[in-house]
Amino acid sequence: MNDAWQQALARVPELLAAHVQLSFSALLLAMVICLPLAIWAVRSPKIAGIALGVASLIQTIPGLALLALFYPLLLGVSALVGGGISAFGFLPALLALTLYALLPILRNAVTGLSGVDPAVREAADGLGMTAWQKLQLVEAPLAAPTIMAGIRTAAVWTIGAATLSTTVGQPSLGDLIFAGLQTQNWTLVLTGCLFSAALAIAVDLLLGLIERGIRERRRMLTGIGMALIAAGLLTATLPLLIARDNIVVIGAKGFSEQFILARLIGSRLEKAGYSVRYRDGLGSAVVYQALSAGDVDVYVDYSGTIWTNQMQRTDSQPKTAMLDTIGQWAYAHHGVKMLGALGFENTYAFAVRPEDARAKSLRTLDDLARVSSDFNFGTDVEFLERPEWRMVQAAYPMRFKDARSFNPTFMYPALASGEVDVISAFSSDGRIAANGFVILEDNKGAVPSYEAIMLLAPDRGSDDKFVAALNPLIGAITVENMRKANYMVDREDDKKTPRQTALWLNDKLRE
């Protein structure tokens, strides 16, 4: 327990710093946009209607979706201006959170400014104030408490929503939450939640202090609030200011195997003298782009994914030829170096209970096709829609009695309990071995190869020390060991962290 907490807490300062930096930047940008807009809106009801309408509409988009939308949007913009705009990390997160912060600030600023007593406005005009003087001397000071309350609401929302920026590759306290959820490591989840909640509460209290200071015209109070905010901002972002050059960023998608391999790569690079950071939970589409842009230095992908998603290929090639093609393509198009295959596959594999395998002498997919009319088929939620299933059906004449979809977590128990008789498992999943399930051989090679391959960012490919540190991993991980490692993280009892598992896996490397 202590160990888990220590590991979780060790990641906090850096993630907190990034979280604070992102939230603060978004809030500041939203203020810069909203305050002039509010002034305009107060003078023109039409603008007020449009601005508030758009801001409200944005608010109805779920935070996660808003973040996700910015990825293709920025990619498009980048393509339009000839590249150079990163669709990954800070920028999309900043833009999405800024949009999210608009509504409370804008609404309160409009309310505050238009709520100024008409008599006071008339007096200001009658005394001969210019529009600017009226704003500066009368309207702004009178609206300030309301505006501040809006900023306070926006700050709390932004800090909360910033946890979602993990999904577009921007580090935040959400890294802990997402990684923890995936590996069912509640210590991580709790740490992420506690710190982001504490941050939101602290900021809310301090902004509340400033708001009270303005409302009650107590300069001391406002000053103390501002000083504490500034001090907090400085302290929290300190880890970002400390020299960060040559820190290696290791990417990982959102499942246990990726977390373990990232830690394995990280531990070897640390031994070679590099400082490393992890970007967990990246989407498949995001991570390759990030690598080619140099935002991520190294990660593990799967040959079939690159083949179909990045290269848009629909044909099939033998395993080794396919790897060669991918390596040449990645280097030619993005300068990405494929260091090599790790030695195991994570593809769709058909698994059956060992007693069925014995009794019905099932060994291959041809054997499965023979008994398919007696079998119930269990899959994950997307398999029946995927090209792999069409490829399998084309090669083997299967017709199951029934087909049902499960969340992966429940798919394995369903096979074990006899609810279904065959499942489309992930071939490197530890729960196959743990349940003693038997994988049937794809004897006709219908399912494309999903070899785990290590990819390096353009400027790491020529870093000899870097390559030397990671080269021993090539061809060194057996599927059996990968399954055991995954199971150590996924199982319910005696859970290990990805890092502990990575160290175990490092001892099992094939020479």
Q: Please give the residue ranges that form the binding site for another protein (CB under 8 A).
A: 117-130, 133, 137-138, 141-142, 217
Nearer to another protein by C-beta: 108 or 481?
A: 108
Cα 165 from Cα 424, distance rounded (Å): 32
Nearer to another protein by C-beta: 61 or 129?
A: 129
Least CB distance to another protein at residue 225 (A): 18
Tell me the two tokens of residue 232. 């907090």
244: Cβ contacts below 8 Å, ≥ 6 apart: none
Question: Which 3 state secondary structure label does DSSP give 342?
Answer: strand
Cα 220 from Cα 138, distance rounded (Å): 21
Nearer to another protein by C-beta: 111 or 325?
A: 111
Nearer to another protein by C-beta: 142 or 202?
A: 142
Sheet (strand 275-282) strand order: 275-282, 247-253, 298-302, 451-456, 337-345
Helix ranges, 216-255 (H): 219-241
Nearer to another protein by C-beta: 140 or 467?
A: 140
Nearer to another protein by C-beta: 117 or 382?
A: 117
Cα 315 from Cα 247, distance rounded (Å): 39
15 close to 176: Cβ distance less than 8 angstroms: yes
Cα 484 from Cα 108, distance rounded (Å): 55
361: Cβ contacts below 8 Å, ≥ 6 apart: 367
Nearer to another protein by C-beta: 128 or 273?
A: 128
